[in-house]
Amino acid sequence: MKTIYSILYITLNTTLNERVGIGVLLSDSENNIFKYSLEKLLAVKGLIESERYNLIKSYLKSLEDNINNVNDINLFENKPVKSEWLTENYISYLSRYSNNLIQFSEPKYIDIEFSLDNFKKIFEKYIYAYESSLEIIQNESIYTKVKNTLYPKIDNRVNVDMVLDSSHFENLFAPIEVSFIGVNGIPVAGQTIDFSKKHYNLENDVTRFVSLTKAIEIEDKGKKGQYYVLGREPEIKNDKNHLLWKQIRDSIFLQFVDIDEVGIIENYIKKNDVRPYF
């Protein structure tokens, strides 16, 4: 059975057509593996306009989800996946299709067996270290990461890790520790949430934070605030948690921020001259 690979490139500068490899697709017509490097994407983020960066990130996540979600098989479980729509002809089409932003290379035949080990070798040759980002994410608590990367940049402008109760907001019926809270004419608050925990506990965390935002707005006579949920997208196979994450991500009331992009919050707090709430 023939094995082919294709490199996914993103364009950094449309005028000079500067491109960088960001992902790899390996296929033997029946099985397909695709992965992109989040670390490399973050490394070039400063070289791409924010709107273009968001489009690229959305496309990469969509592509990875579509391939890895087939038959509920996860790429990182060392199993190949099948996808009816992903064929050699379609990959060739993708290599010819260009939107000046993202493009696959023409698929090339390679005389190796289709396997995850061989995929890793190709990925590391053309893109980046294969598992480093995944292992770092698993080994480092999201709470620790937020405290180390975000708190030092905002702790003079907000209250961090503060336990709030009815003495702070009359309509807050149970104590809750909030990651940060401030004010700039409107309330600003954020909560770090682990979307990989048991669904019951996850629902409880989300419900308590929403209750806090409502208590804050009642106290502030109905002023709509800026509320952040910090975390990481859970695995798709964890369907209940993933659905809740998706609802939060698509909410107009809460703004989800990946813990690798907490600079979004830092910029908002500094730009709007947010001050500690208490």
- Kindly give the pairing relationship between strand 102-104 and strand 4-13: antiparallel
Domain boundary among 137, 163, 190: 137
This prediction's pTM: 0.55
CA–CA gap between residue 268 and residue 189 (Å, rounded)? 12
Is residue 74 within 8 Å of 50, Cβ to Cβ?
no
Residue-level pLDDT at 44: 81
Residue 65 and residue 12 share a domain: yes
Q: Looking at per-residue confidence, does 234 or 78 come out higher? A: 234
Residue 182 pLDDT > 90: yes
pLDDT in tens, 8-40: 888 887 666 688 899 998 888 777 788 888 878
pLDDT in tens, 122-159: 999 999 887 544 443 444 578 888 988 999 999 999 99
Residue 49 and residue 172 share a domain: no
Mean per-residue pLDDT for 238-248?
89
Residue 132 and residue 10 share a domain: yes
Domain boundary among 90, 108, 137: 137
Residue 29 and residue 79 share a domain: yes
Supply the CATH number for residue 202's domain.
3.40.1350
C-alpha dist (Å) from residue 7 to 49, 114, 155, 260: 22, 16, 42, 24
How many residues make up the chain in this entry? 278
- Backbone φ and ψ for 191, nearest 5 degrees, come out as -135, 130
Number of domains in the chain: 2
Is residue 9 within 8 Å of 22, Cβ to Cβ?
yes
Residue 162 and residue 131 share a domain: no
Residue 232 and residue 270 share a domain: yes
Residue 239 and residue 147 share a domain: yes
Torsion of CA 244, 262, 124, 82, to 10 degrees: 20
Which domain range does residue 237 map to? 140-276
Residue 82 and residue 59 share a domain: yes
Residue 226 and residue 129 share a domain: no
Mean per-residue pLDDT for 35-61?
81
Please write down the long-range contacts of 221-224, taking CB distance under 8 Å and 24 or more positions apart.
Answer: 223/185, 223/186, 223/187, 224/186
Work out the mean pLDDT of the chain and round it to a whole number.
81
Residue 177 and residue 131 share a domain: no
Domain boundary among 137, 169, 195: 137
Is residue 211 within 8 Å of 173, Cβ to Cβ?
yes
pLDDT in tens, 195-208: 988 888 899 899 99
Residue 220 and residue 113 share a domain: no
Residue-level pLDDT at 134: 43
Residue 157 and residue 117 share a domain: no
